[in-house]
A and B are shown apart, each in its own frame.
Chain A
Amino acid sequence: MKKMKRSVGVVAVLAVALMSGAATAETLKIGMMGPLTGPYAADGNDIANGVRVAIEVINEAGGIEGFDTIELITQDTACDPKQAVAAANNLINDEVVGVVGAYCSSSTIPASETLAEEDILMLTPASTNEMVTDRGLPYMFRVCGRDDDQAPAAVRFMKEALGAKTVFIVDDKTTYSQGLADGVAASSKEMGLEVLAHEHVNQGDKDFSAILTKAKAAAPDVLYMSLQNHSSGSLMAIQANRMGLDAAILSQDAMFHPNFINVAKEAAEGVYVTFGYTDESTEAYKQFADKFSAQYGDIGAYAIYAYDAATVLLNGIKQAGSTDPAKIKEAIMAMDFQGASKQIKFNEKGDSGSSYIAFKIENGEYRPYWHPETGYYQ
């Protein structure tokens, strides 16, 4: 009996020692949400990996004072609004300070409402729909561009650079893809570009022969392809090419992914894509790109924005010296720095500006082709 008492005593002392140890070993938890499974899994994993690289860089620079480790908690949204809200609730239960995500605008919008109830910061690296930041949520930030900047840039490109008179628009009915296609249709009307038709397909379709046959018969100058994902885009490009569609193809930021070219091959040649301009000669970009490609290979469209979003969040926490959302927000609003993707400075809405230019795919690479202000690149 005496022996047992003693061992209880030892256990109690050990437990106290462990608990006090836990009190000094603080873990900073941040969340990431995006489509880690399903049709957009490639983009979701790019985003998660971008965040991982940002954490690595911060840790190498000495970490964040007051915390021993930074823990990343990833949640799968599968680009489904319901699952995105569940993911947001899981992250709330995990007591994260801030969240990088989501990918699909249709996930980001409902998830941000849930996170806002708990005053958790959310920085989207990829959701370009206007409503993401236009609802006035105090802790919503956007590192990528906005569709109401992308659509006019696309229409100006078609008119000014391609000299187009008519356009045939196809979208696949997501908040993002249809929102952008509607924007292009509206801008086209304003700027005097004739919209021959505005057709819709379904997310995940493989066969576009019916729509493309229609497009071919309409003989537009440009086929504007607004699809949620590069996977459908590559299939449409292949089929358009095979069908001998004469129109130039212009698409949007979702097509800015190496696998679009890997799959569509020759059919991708000559396709134009609007995407944010990234100066690849900056130190910030090189630091990101070296680390990312060494571990994860090809740099997907949104990996770089995810990296910047996570950097903004972590530096915000670091500079605020606190996990109080109001203080972090203050630190973030004061930022004005060269990120890996672009110069980052947030306005009162939480947007960080768009830098859309047109790229052209040549010899299996995205080449900057036309800038709305300065015209053609050399």
Chain B
Amino acid sequence: MEVFIQQCINALTLGGLYALIALGYTMVYGVIQLINFAHGEFFAAGGYIGVLLLGVMTAMGLMESAPWMCLGVSLLLTMLYCAFLAMGVERIAYKPLRKQTRLAALISALGMSIFLSNGMMLARGPLDQPYPLEYSSGGFEFGLITINNLQIVIWVLTAVLLVALNLLVFRSRIGMAMRAVAQDKVMSALVAINTNRIIALTFAIGAGLAAAAGIMVGLYYGSVRYDMGFVPGIKAFAAAVLGGIGNITGAMIGGLIIGAVEVFGAAYISGEYKDVFAFIILIAVLYFKPTGIMGENIDDTRV
């Protein structure tokens, strides 16, 4: 029983991280029907910028006195950086292709993904970049069960970001504009919505969430590497499809389910087929219910 609860805790942590990444896929798909395969690279870039900023703050001696504030500042700056990075990528790689076939943009996305990950390798080398481990040192123990401080941080941060995103999309004017652009770009432009700006903003928000996940992964696992975006990116994509691509609530649920399937699959069936479980789900969903759990096109919740 204790082992089961521990595995639930593991699953919730992993699932939350997948959910944060999956949201970026789903939002971009909702607005311009593009699977942004470079999205995993925003996640990796977040991890890299995070380790750089924390390194600078350590060098300045701020880590000693206010470690959690350093983390908060790094998190904000990293999210901001990746938001701008995503807007740049959108401008260079996707916007010129918006009137072309969807395949052209998809190939451009794959190219951008390879470009960004190799760019990170050239800039920072092929070795893992170590993260400070101080944040993950404390925690709680109940018998065999351990909950790490950082796991709690991940849960809280994930929850806060998810709520904030929901408020933004469903309760604000910008969110309304996003939903409008998702439904009909021409019509939105006619009612004076700046569609280009809304699309750029969608990329920025998605990348910001992925960047937050990137820092959390770096802190939780202790290191980041230039190619870290690929596998989580694909799994988050599976999560987005599972939830119903284009659907925000679906992406959150999908992320949690993929995390749970992986952890329980590894725990109770076999560790070596961990990745297989996630992708079996992807194939099964595409085969039996391509619109996903929440449905692709429930007009109001689609962004």
Q: Is A26 an interface residue (CB 8 A)?
A: no
Known A206-B228, A210-B266, A217-B3; contact A242-B136, beta-carbon cutoff 8 A: yes
Interface-facing stretch out of A107-115, A247-255, A258-266, A282-290? A258-266
Q: Which residues of A contact B270 (CB under 8 A)?
A: 200
Secondary structure call for the B interface: helix
Do residues A235 and B222 form an inter-chain contact, with CB atoms below 8 A? yes
Instruction: A214 to B263: give the CA distance in the assembly, Å.
Output: 11
| Interface bits B269-287 vs A (CB < 8 Å: 1, else 0) | 0111011000000000000
CB distance from A303 to the nearest CB of B (A): 14
Partner of B227, one of A39, A207, A238: A39
Q: Is B223 an interface residue (CB 8 A)?
A: yes
Q: Which residues of A contact B126 (CB under 8 A)?
A: 37, 41-42, 45
Q: Which residues of B contact A235 (CB under 8 A)?
A: 221-223
Instruction: A206 to B17: give the CA distance in the assembly, Å.
Output: 13
Q: Which residues of A contact B128 (CB under 8 A)?
A: 231, 234, 259, 262-263
Most buried by A among B2, B118, B127, B146: B127
Q: Is B188 an interface residue (CB 8 A)?
A: no
Do residues A234 and B10 form an inter-chain contact, with CB atoms below 8 A? no
Do residues A263 and B223 form an inter-chain contact, with CB atoms below 8 A? yes
Do residues B267 and A214 form an inter-chain contact, with CB atoms below 8 A? yes
Q: Which residues of B contact A242 (CB under 8 A)?
A: 136-137, 139, 146, 148
Q: Which residues of B contact A238 (CB under 8 A)?
A: 133, 136, 221-222
How many residues of chain A have a CB within 8 Å of chain B? 38
CB distance from B252 to the nearest CB of A (A): 19
Do residues A263 and B222 form an inter-chain contact, with CB atoms below 8 A? yes
B219-255, CB < 8 A from A: 221-223, 225, 227-228, 231-232
Q: Which residues of B contact A204 (CB under 8 A)?
A: 231
Q: Is B64 an interface residue (CB 8 A)?
A: no
Instruction: A39 to B2: give the CA distance in the assembly, Å.
Output: 35
Do residues A234 and B146 form an inter-chain contact, with CB atoms below 8 A? no
A97-114, CB < 8 A from B: none
Q: Is A244 an interface residue (CB 8 A)?
A: yes
Do residues B14 and A265 form an inter-chain contact, with CB atoms below 8 A? no
Q: Is B121 an interface residue (CB 8 A)?
A: yes
Known A45-B126, A243-B146; contact A234-B266, beta-carbon cutoff 8 A: no
Q: Is A38 an interface residue (CB 8 A)?
A: yes
Q: Is B194 an interface residue (CB 8 A)?
A: no
Do residues B227 and A38 form an inter-chain contact, with CB atoms below 8 A? yes
Q: Which residues of A contact B181 (CB under 8 A)?
A: none
Known A200-B270, A265-B133, A267-B133; contact A207-B3, beta-carbon cutoff 8 A: no
CB distance from A179 to the nearest CB of B (A): 15
CB distance from A42 to the nearest CB of B (A): 5
Q: Is B108 an interface residue (CB 8 A)?
A: no
Instruction: A210 to B228: give the CA distance in the assembly, Å.
Output: 20
Do residues A206 and B221 form an inter-chain contact, with CB atoms below 8 A? yes
Q: Which residues of B contact A38 (CB under 8 A)?
A: 227
Secondary structure call for the A interface: helix
Do residues A211 and B271 form an inter-chain contact, with CB atoms below 8 A? yes
How many residues of chain B have a CB within 8 Å of chain A? 40
Do residues B271 and A210 form an inter-chain contact, with CB atoms below 8 A? yes
CB distance from B146 to the nearest CB of A (A): 6
Instruction: A170 to B221: give the CA distance in the assembly, Å.
Output: 18
Instruction: A264 to B130: give the CA distance in the assembly, Å.
Output: 8
Q: Is A209 an interface residue (CB 8 A)?
A: yes
CB distance from B227 to the nearest CB of A (A): 6
CB distance from B9 to the nearest CB of A (A): 8
Q: Is A371 an interface residue (CB 8 A)?
A: no
Considering the complex, give the chain A residue whose CB is closest to the CB of B259.
Answer: A207
CB distance from B149 to the nearest CB of A (A): 10
Q: Which residues of B contact A217 (CB under 8 A)?
A: 2-3, 144
Q: Is A150 an interface residue (CB 8 A)?
A: no
Do residues B221 and A213 form an inter-chain contact, with CB atoms below 8 A? no
Q: Which residues of B contact A265 (CB under 8 A)?
A: 130, 133, 222
Considering the complex, give the chain B residue whose CB is closest to the CB of A210.
Answer: B266
Do residues A263 and B6 form an inter-chain contact, with CB atoms below 8 A? no
Q: Is A173 an interface residue (CB 8 A)?
A: yes
Q: Which residues of B contact A213 (CB under 8 A)?
A: 3, 6-7, 10, 267
A309-356, CB < 8 A from B: none
Q: Which residues of A contact B6 (CB under 8 A)?
A: 213
Do residues B221 and A207 form an inter-chain contact, with CB atoms below 8 A? yes
Q: Is A216 an interface residue (CB 8 A)?
A: yes
Do residues A201 and B272 form an inter-chain contact, with CB atoms below 8 A? yes
Q: Which residues of A contact B121 (CB under 8 A)?
A: 37, 41
Instruction: A200 to B265: give the CA distance in the assembly, Å.
Output: 13
Partner of A259, one of B127, B139, B274: B127
CB distance from B215 to the nearest CB of A (A): 14
User: Could you list 25 A-B pairs, sorted by A, with CB under 8 Å?
Assistant: A37-B121, A45-B126, A170-B271, A199-B271, A199-B272, A200-B270, A200-B272, A201-B271, A202-B274, A204-B231, A205-B274, A206-B228, A206-B232, A207-B262, A209-B13, A210-B7, A210-B263, A213-B6, A214-B3, A238-B133, A238-B221, A259-B128, A262-B130, A263-B128, A267-B133
Chain B residues at the A interface, C-beta cutoff of 8 Å: 2-3, 6-7, 10, 13-14, 118, 121, 126-128, 130, 133, 136-137, 139, 141, 144, 146, 148, 217, 221-223, 225, 227-228, 231-232, 262-264, 266-267, 270-272, 274-275
New A-B pairs, 15, CB < 8 Å, besides A202-B272, A234-B223, A263-B222: A38-B227, A42-B126, A199-B271, A206-B221, A206-B228, A207-B14, A210-B267, A211-B271, A217-B2, A231-B225, A238-B221, A239-B221, A242-B139, A263-B223, A267-B133
